[in-house]
């Protein structure tokens, strides 16, 4: 919910959490799956020295090589881009079938795209984007995403109460 764009009290109340009596109004039943893989694409921090552990695979220290002419070999280990905000690639697999969604896009126009390239993640197979809410730190990476996969044909799901700054809405 955004309360800084002049919305009415009724609009704010509509989007506020409220107690739901009895069974869920729209229960969602999820089928059993074989695997759920969550790849953090953008987060507030990135520690390249953390080791992988059971059930957790971390990017190698070599992820994030970038051109750096001042070094022998012409490249440096820049690591992954960390920024205020969040983005995760969620892949669900059942048998040989899988579905991949992007949950949020980070803050900057290029952080998500840079990390996708450095991790070797192909975003061409995305089946949709889900935005948790409309704040810049979750919805800023669409420009980089469009650079990697094009601008059309990708469904976007947002909560109906998401509010966008008037400057973000094109006419």
How far the first Cα of the chain sits from its last, in Å, is 23
Rounded Cα distance between 140 and 132, Å, is: 12
Computed over its alpha carbons, how large is the radius of gyration of the chain?
19
Three-state secondary structure along 12-26? HHHHCCCCCCCCCCC
144: DSSP letter: H
Q: Which pLDDT does position 50 carry in this prediction? A: 86
Q: Which of 96, 97, 152 is nearest to 124 (CA)?
A: 152
Fold category of 32-48+64-164 in CATH? Metallo-beta-lactamase; Chain A (3.60.15)
Give the Cα separation of 48 and 62 in Å (integer): 9
What is this structure's pTM? 0.76
CA distance 103 to 130: 5
- Band (pLDDT 50/70/90 cuts) for residue 93 is very high
Q: Where is 42: in which H helix or E strand?
A: strand 35-42
Q: What is the pLDDT of residues 114-158, one digit of tens each?
A: 999 999 999 998 999 999 887 888 889 999 999 999 877 889 888
Q: Give the chain's mean pLDDT.
A: 84
Instruction: Check whether 6 has a pLDDT greater than 60.
Output: no
Higher-pLDDT residue of 2, 140: 140
């Amino acid at each position: 919910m955004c309360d800084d764009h002049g919305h009415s009290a009724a609009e704010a109340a509509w989007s506020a959490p409220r107690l739901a009596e009895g069974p869920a109004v729209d229960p969602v039943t999820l089928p059993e799956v074989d695997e759920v893989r969550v790849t953090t694409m953008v987060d507030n921090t990135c520690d390249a020295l953390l080791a992988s552990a059971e059930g957790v695979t971390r990017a190698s220290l070599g992820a994030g090589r970038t051109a750096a002419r001042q070094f022998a070999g012409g490249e440096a280990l820049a690591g992954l881009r960390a920024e205020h905000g969040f983005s995760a690639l969620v892949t669900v697999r059942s048998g040989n079938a899988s579905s991949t969604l992007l949950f949020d896009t980070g803050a900057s126009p290029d952080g998500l795209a840079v990390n996708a390239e450095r991790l070797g993640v192909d975003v061409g197979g995305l089946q949709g984007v889900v935005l948790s809410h409309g704040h810049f730190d979750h919805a800023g990476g669409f420009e980089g995403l469009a650079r990697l996969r094009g601008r059309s044909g990708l469904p976007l799901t947002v909560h109906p109460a998401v509010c966008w700054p008037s400057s973000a809405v094109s006419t």
